[in-house]
Amino acid sequence: MTVSLFNKRAAAVVAFIAVIFALFAFVILHMQRAPSAESTDTASSKTYKVSVSADRGEILDRNGNTFVYNEQINVITLNALGFPSDKEEGNEIILSLISFLESKEEEWIDELPIFFDENGKAQFEADRDFDINWMRSSYFLNMNSYATAENCFDALREEYKLEGYSKDRAMKIASVRYNMARLGFSASSPYTFAEGVSIQTVAYVKENSAFYKGVDAEVRSSRKYIGDGRLASHILGIVGAISSQEYNAEKEKTEALIKEAGDDEEKLLQIKSAAYAPSDYIGKNGIEQAMEKYLRGVNGVKNLTVDADGVITEEYSVKPSPGGTAILTLDIPMQEIAEQSLASRIAAVTDYSAIAGGMTPAGAVVVEDVKTGAILASASFPDYSLNDYFSDYSSLAADPGKPLWNRAFQSGYSPGSTMKPATAIAGLEEGIITPDSLFYCNGTFEYYDQTFVCFGKTAHGGVNVKTALAYSCNIFFFKLAERLGIQKMNHYSSLLGLGQKTGVEISETEGILAGYDERASRGEGWLLGETLLAAIGQSDNSFSPLQLTNYCATIANGGTRFVPYLVSKVLSSDYSEVLYEHLPEVAAQTDIKEETIDAVKQGMYLVANNTSCREYLSGLKYKVACKTGTAEKTKIVNGQRYDGTDGFLIAFGPYEDPQIAITVVVENAGSGASTAQVAADIFEYYFSTLNLISDVQAENRLLG
């Protein structure tokens, strides 16, 4: 009985096992006969996500004329999906591409921070510390922080099997390999090998695709500029490959946004689509940097699927969205006149004895709408071409004239007598003088043990604030400063925006307002005699042409200081939406009395029409007002001292209903009045547009 029970149980187990095997066989047979699409994709294909760059937005002037646009260029790329993983095979492809491009005098991207000196010894490039440290780091070569350029080059040769190549060839291949690693070359991140190549080069790569595995050509948009690329170059700025520092900073911002988005999938997709890739480009300075988030657009995402046969299919998961169009406050015709007139005047009036002594011909112009703060033109000389920025960078950076420097916004100048209207306002507002108060000028002023002289060593006799401005009488302002003191003077200078940033969108200097605070910040004391010098724009006073223009505009409009601005608005690429808009913004209501402003404006009117500038400004269609200034400066070159005199002019017009304010600075000009021709050229153009507007309005009234 026991044996019989055992046999029955054994038979049941055997039957159960047989059923299980039958089920397995059925499933396997079914899978072989009717495989599912999903399982086939998972087993025999792979999908990669690739970022697709969006077209950058254009930059236009206030009237819709183009400053910056995009041009289609040919680009050679390396794609990890096809590029050989074998280093030696990859090196041959890289070297062949380099050799071919160089034979056609076309450039490839060379970013290695190492070069060979005249003795054939490897050296690090200057100002590349961040890249050099990354190359040494555990992220790449894993070398000590004190590793030399020779050490790094040897490590690159070993890492990429370059020992069989000459040093020059090995250096070129290593440069590409270094940049591929730095930018995270992968299936999801193709590497840009060369930009702006000819169609012949594209054809050559395509025709030899069997050898050039993983090498492809595509069309991208590239930044192009009006004319020769010099117009408003200091304002527009440049776009360049994102640096490691910039990428890391943007990556931190993206990670913070992702954390904030939580589980919101739609928001996460938008954030990741907008994130920067190591191969992206970014605005480096000027408007390109200031409006980066609007101009850049949103990159797309393309899915690349590789099937079992190696066939690649493409499909967008997110289509790229072009950047917005920035509308500037600049007026292209006025900008052209400002630049041309400034360059012409610099050539005509520069003191070349100072130039021979080590000074450089230079200057700046700024034009501002006094009723809004909009910047209508801004010129800095010497200038440079945005089209040639990268190819000419080494020579531009080494040029003693510093053409890359925006003198209109970033340079601080001792303003000379253009400071006198601010001092006059302080005296009038404090009740120390009235518009008719007289101070006597005999040509000198004794202050303790110091003797100060008048401008031109002239005795003007009895002068009031208006005639003191007209004749730029130092003695009047010395006596006024003695009664005011530096603190009260600085209160009004600060109220007028001097010695502080204006708030404009791009990089600017803060400037310096001479006085106790400035000296204390340097651990020094203030001498009483310097109060007199500060009153006429000397001592430590240092202001940008932009600050001087904004200060002049504040006087012209009756005492309202606006925040200067360069960007009026940004529109979506199809112009259907306003992405950003700058409305006139008041920085300060000075509450300066009307009679004070009127007295100062009358004095400035006399300068333009009765004294130093009448030759240039009195014959214009509309009357204008101005104040000139000169400032001596010293420069030490190779241990030798050289002296020069900068010329300044601040002006506004029309006098009866001010519309624009202008500042002109010409370094080593000898006098402020000699710069007035530049202002006259700008006024003449602007007044012609006023006439045109008036004619159109009159015609419309007649037609109505």
| Strand 325-328, strand 567-571: pairing | antiparallel
- CA nearest neighbour of 612 among 471, 473, 474: 471
- CA nearest neighbour of 682 among 371, 228, 365, 347: 365
pLDDT per residue over 614-661, tens digit each? Answer: 999 999 999 999 999 998 877 666 667 767 789 999 999 999 999 999
The DSSP call for residue 64 is: S
User: Going by C-beta distance under 8 Å and a sequence separation of 6 or more, which residues neighbour residue 288?
Assistant: 59, 68, 236, 237, 238, 239, 295
| Residues composing the chain | 704
Whether residue 405 lies inside any domain: the answer is no
Percent of the chain with pLDDT over 90: 65
Average pLDDT over residues 111-122: 94
pLDDT per residue over 469-496, tens digit each? Answer: 999 999 999 999 999 999 999 999 999 9
The pLDDT score that the predictor gives to residue 253 is 92
Highest mean pLDDT among 123-132, 202-211, 531-540: 531-540
The pLDDT score that the predictor gives to residue 651 is 98
Residue whose structure tokens are 């009045």: 673
- CA nearest neighbour of 188 among 43, 80, 88: 80
Give yes or no for a cis peptide into 435 (omega within 30° of 0). no
| Strand 59-60, strand 325-328: pairing | parallel
pLDDT per residue over 424-438, tens digit each? Answer: 999 999 999 999 999
Q: How far apart are CA 219 and CA 586, in angstroms?
A: 46
* Residue 244, domain extent: 45-65+226-328
Whether residue 699 lies inside any domain: the answer is no
Longest dimension (CA), the chain: 146
pLDDT per residue over 443-454, tens digit each? Answer: 999 988 888 889
Q: State the pLDDT confidence band at 18, using cuts at 50, 70 and 90.
A: very low
Angle of CA points 291, 373, 609, to nearest 5°: 140
User: Going by C-beta distance under 8 Å and a sequence separation of 6 or more, which residues neighbour residue 470?
Assistant: 603, 606, 607, 610, 611
pTM for the full model?
Answer: 0.81
The pLDDT score that the predictor gives to residue 12 is 45
Q: State the pLDDT confidence band at 458, using cuts at 50, 70 and 90.
A: confident
The reply to whether 266 and 366 lie within a common domain is no
Average pLDDT over residues 542-547: 98
The reply to whether 372 and 230 lie within a common domain is no
pLDDT per residue over 517-539, tens digit each? Answer: 999 999 999 998 999 999 999 99
The reply to whether 311 and 233 lie within a common domain is yes
| Strand 578-581, strand 567-571: pairing | antiparallel
Angle of CA points 542, 545, 550, to nearest 5°: 105
Q: How many domains does the chain have?
A: 3
388 compared with 62, residue with greater pLDDT: 62
The reply to whether 561 and 618 lie within a common domain is yes
Label residue 145 exposed, middle or buried (CB < 10 Å: 0-12, 13-18, 19+): exposed
Please say if the pLDDT value at position 2 is more than 50: no
Whether residue 89 lies inside any domain: the answer is no
The reply to whether 323 and 348 lie within a common domain is no
Whether residue 423 lies inside any domain: the answer is yes
* Amino acid type, 292: E
319 compared with 641, residue with greater pLDDT: 319
Tokens, residue 441? 């000028």
Q: What CATH number did the domain enclosing 542 receive?
A: 3.40.710.10
Please say if the pLDDT value at position 128 is more than 60: yes
- CA nearest neighbour of 504 among 169, 702, 234, 180: 234
Q: Please say whether the beta carbons of 653 and 660 come within 8 A.
A: yes
Mean pLDDT of the chain: 88
The reply to whether 377 and 525 lie within a common domain is yes
The pLDDT score that the predictor gives to residue 190 is 87
The pLDDT score that the predictor gives to residue 704 is 30
The reply to whether 483 and 374 lie within a common domain is yes
The b/e string for 42-75 (b: 16+ C-beta within 10 A; e otherwise) is: eeeeeebebbbbbbbbbbbbbeeeebbbbeeebb
Whether residue 116 lies inside any domain: the answer is no
- From 328, 345, 361, give the residue that closes a domain: 328
The reply to whether 641 and 658 lie within a common domain is yes
Please say if the pLDDT value at position 22 is more than 60: no
The pLDDT score that the predictor gives to residue 351 is 67
The pLDDT score that the predictor gives to residue 222 is 86
Please say if the pLDDT value at position 89 is more than 60: yes
- CA nearest neighbour of 644 among 357, 342, 364: 357
- From 280, 295, 328, give the residue that closes a domain: 328
User: Going by C-beta distance under 8 Å and a sequence separation of 6 or more, which residues neighbour residue 313?
Assistant: 304, 305, 307
Average pLDDT over residues 153-162: 96
Average pLDDT over residues 235-253: 90
Highest mean pLDDT among 277-286, 443-452, 596-605, 634-643: 596-605
* Amino acid type, 472: S
The reply to whether 251 and 276 lie within a common domain is yes
Whether residue 514 lies inside any domain: the answer is yes
The reply to whether 299 and 372 lie within a common domain is no
The reply to whether 263 and 282 lie within a common domain is yes
Average pLDDT over residues 211-236: 91
Ramachandran sector of residue 241 (left: φ over 0; alpha: ψ -120 to 50; beta: rest) = beta
The reply to whether 237 and 366 lie within a common domain is no
The pLDDT score that the predictor gives to residue 391 is 79
- From 328, 359, 377, give the residue that closes a domain: 328
Angle of CA points 398, 401, 407, to nearest 5°: 120
Q: What CATH number did the domain enclosing 324 receive?
A: 3.90.1310.10
Q: How far apart are CA 372 and CA 561, in angstroms?
A: 9
Whether residue 137 lies inside any domain: the answer is no
Whether residue 114 lies inside any domain: the answer is no
